Amino acid sequence: MVGLSLLARLNRIVKTAKHINSEVPFGGVNAIFFGDYLQYSPVLDRPLYHSCASSEQITERQIDMQCAHKLISQMNCVVELSQQMRTEDVRYLELLNRLRSGQSTIEDYQLLCTRIIGNPKLLTSLKQKPWNEAPILVFRNTLRTQINNRAVLNKAMEMGLRPMVCVAQDYFQGKIIEDLRLRKTILELPDNKTEHLPGYLPLVPGMPVLLTENVATELGLSNGTRGIFHQLVYEEPSADIQFQDKNFPANTKFITQLKYALVEFPNCKLDSELAELQTKIIPISISEQTFLFDIKELLVDNVAKAAKINKKTTKISVKRKALPLIPAYSMTTHKSQGQTLSKIIIDLVMPPGPVEVASVYVPLSRVKRLDDLLIVRSFDFAALQVKPSTAQCEEL
C-alpha cells in the first residue's frame, strides 16, 4: 500500500520530471488511486487516511506527510467497486463482509472452526495434493524462513538430492566481507532487513518460489510473482565451501559463484520461447541491493562506548549480491496481500503486538471458497471481532 511519505515522494519526482508549475499536483499528470483502506497499513509509513495533526516539533517527514494528505483531499472523483470478483462462495463472502466491519457472529466463528486441521469431519490429508502444495501463511518473517528451510530440505531428501544452498555475497567498501563473525551475522539477518535479498537461499528443482523485486512488470514479473524453480547455473568452486549454519545439514552444498536461476512463471506474459528454453521459463539473474547494518553488538564494550560518546555511527553500508528469490512454501500475510491463491493454510492466533482488521481479513480473503483454506489450530472468537479504526471508518 502507498503511504503518505511515499505519495509525497512520488509527487515530488513527477513534478520535477515534468518541469512545470510546482503548485500543480503530480505535474499535471492525471493520477488514479485504487485500493482498500482495510488492507494492511504500509510498512514504515503512515496510511493515506492518517490524520496529520500538527505538533510542536515539525520534521521534514511530517511536512511531506501533510503535503500528501492535502493531495488526497483534492481527489474530485471517487468510484466504489461493489461487485466482489474473487470470492465465489456466497456464504463465505457474507462472512468476510461482516469480518471487515468487526461484526462477525458466533455462527461465522463456528463455520471457520470446521476448517481447523484435526477436525474429524475434514476429509483432507496434508501429505497429498493439493494440500501438500498449499502455502502456509504466517505473521512473522522468522517463522516463514524456518518453515521454508525445513520444507526445502524435506523435498531434497524425498528426491534423494544433496541439499543445495545459495549464499549471498556481501561487500563493504567495495571488498567482499571476509571477517567470519561479521559475515556469519550479516548472512543470518532476516531478508526484511536486507532489502529482501536472503543471505541463505535453499533450492531444489520443482519447488515454488517468489520474486522479491520487479524484474519486468510489463511481462508480469514483479515483486511477489510466484514461480517454479527448475535449475541453477553457477561456477564450481575450486574447493568445497562450508558455512557453519545450524539450519542446514553437514552435507549441504553451499554455492557462492552464482550466475542465474531458471524459473518457470506460469502467468508470465511472454508469448515466445527464449532461445533454448521451454515456454514460460525465465532466467533470473543476480541482483544488487545496499542496506545498513549496525555492528555495535559485534564491537567490544569499550569501543562501542567510545563510539557512542564521540557520536560516531556504528552502522556500515553493505552491498549484497544475491538471487531475488525466496522459497514459497510459506509466506507472510503481508506478502500474500493482493494475491488470489488456490489453496492456503493459515493461522488465526495473533502474535504479540498491535492487531488490525487486516491481520485476519487479509489471509482469509486470499481464496475463492471456504473449502480452499485450512486453519492450523484453534483460535479465539476475539480474533474475528477487531473493528476498523476511527480514521478508517471516517475515510470509508
Nearest Cα to Cα of residue 384 among 107, 82, 115, 41: 107
Are residues 224 and 237 in contact, defined by beta-carbon separation less than 8 angstroms?
Answer: no
Strands (DSSP E) along 158-212, which ranges? 164-167, 169-172, 175-176, 200-203, 208-211
What does the block give as the cell for 78?
471517487
Buried b (16+ CB within 10 A) or exposed e, 345-372: bbbbebeeeeebbbbbbbbbbbbbebeb
DSSP per position, 113-161: HTTBTT-TT----TTSTTGGGPPEEES-HHHHHHHHHHHHHHHHHHTT-
What's the whole-model pTM score? 0.85
Angle at 328 between CA 258 and CA 184, to 5 degrees: 50
* Amino acid at residue number 69: H
For the chain, the structural domain boundaries read 4-73, 90-134+341-395, 145-329
Nearest Cα to Cα of residue 373 among 395, 350, 340: 340
**What pairs with residue 138 in β-bridges?**
332
Q: What are the two backbone dihedrals, phi and then psi, of residue 300, each rounded to the nearest 5 degrees?
A: -65, 155
pLDDT given at position 299: 75
Are residues 331 and 51 in contact, defined by beta-carbon separation less than 8 angstroms?
Answer: no
Tens-of-pLDDT digits for all 396 residues of the chain? 788 999 989 988 888 888 876 778 888 888 888 888 888 888 888 888 887 776 556 788 888 888 888 888 888 888 888 888 788 889 999 999 999 999 999 999 999 999 999 998 888 888 888 998 899 999 999 999 999 999 999 999 999 999 999 999 999 999 999 888 899 999 999 998 999 999 999 999 999 999 999 998 898 899 889 999 999 999 887 666 667 778 898 889 999 999 999 999 998 888 776 777 777 899 999 999 999 999 887 876 655 565 666 667 889 999 999 999 999 999 999 989 988 999 999 999 999 988 899 999 999 999 999 999 999 999 999 999 999 988 888 777
Quote the CA–CA distance of 142 and 163 in Å, as a whole number.
21
Quote the CA–CA distance of 149 and 165 in Å, as a whole number.
10
Are residues 163 and 153 in contact, defined by beta-carbon separation less than 8 angstroms?
Answer: yes
Are residues 256 and 177 in contact, defined by beta-carbon separation less than 8 angstroms?
Answer: no
Nearest Cα to Cα of residue 345 among 56, 117, 192, 118: 117
pLDDT given at position 205: 96
Cα 301 off chain centre by = 36
Residue the block writes with cell 496510511: 47
What does the block give as the cell for 121?
469431519
Angle at 189 between CA 252 and CA 207, to 5 degrees: 45
* Amino acid at residue number 213: E
Residue the block writes with cell 528443482: 205
